[in-house]
């Protein structure tokens, strides 16, 4: 929640689906940093987060919020469930 730069090596894996709905995980796909209340990311492969005719302007990856940090989210969810169930 602070503005510290988090390097891509802390990203456990981004997950993207191809046209056949096959998931591929890309470890260390992007860094992250909160700047002026917004999240700034630097994906290693812009093509995976580029949508032609999408709802967001070029360079805005809001549609990929979950995909970019999917593996980290899974770990965080498991930790929260564990903390809640083992009070």
Percent of the chain with pLDDT over 90: 78
pTM here is 0.85
Q: What is the pLDDT of residues 29-55, one digit of tens each?
A: 999 999 999 999 999 999 999 887 888
pLDDT exceeds 90 at position 25: yes
Distance CA 69, CA 13 (A): 6
* pLDDT over 80 (residue 9): yes
Instruction: Give the pLDDT confidence score for residue 31 in this predicted structure.
Output: 97
Question: How remote is the C-alpha of 33 from its chain's centroid?
Answer: 12
Contact (Cβ atoms closer than 8 angstroms) between residue 32 and residue 6: yes
Structure confidence by residue, pLDDT tens digits, 57-87: 888 898 899 999 999 999 999 999 999 998 7
At 61 the pLDDT is 92
């Amino acid at each position: 929640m602070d503005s510290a730069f988090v390097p891509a090596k802390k990203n456990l894996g981004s997950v993207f689906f191809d046209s056949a709905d096959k998931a591929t995980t890309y470890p260390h796909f992007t860094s992250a940093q909160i700047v002026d209340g917004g999240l700034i990311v630097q994906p290693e492969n812009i093509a995976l987060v580029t949508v032609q005719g999408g709802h967001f302007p070029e360079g805005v990856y809001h549609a990929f919020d979950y995909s970019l940090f999917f593996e980290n989210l899974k770990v965080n969810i498991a930790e929260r469930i564990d903390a809640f169930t083992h009070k």
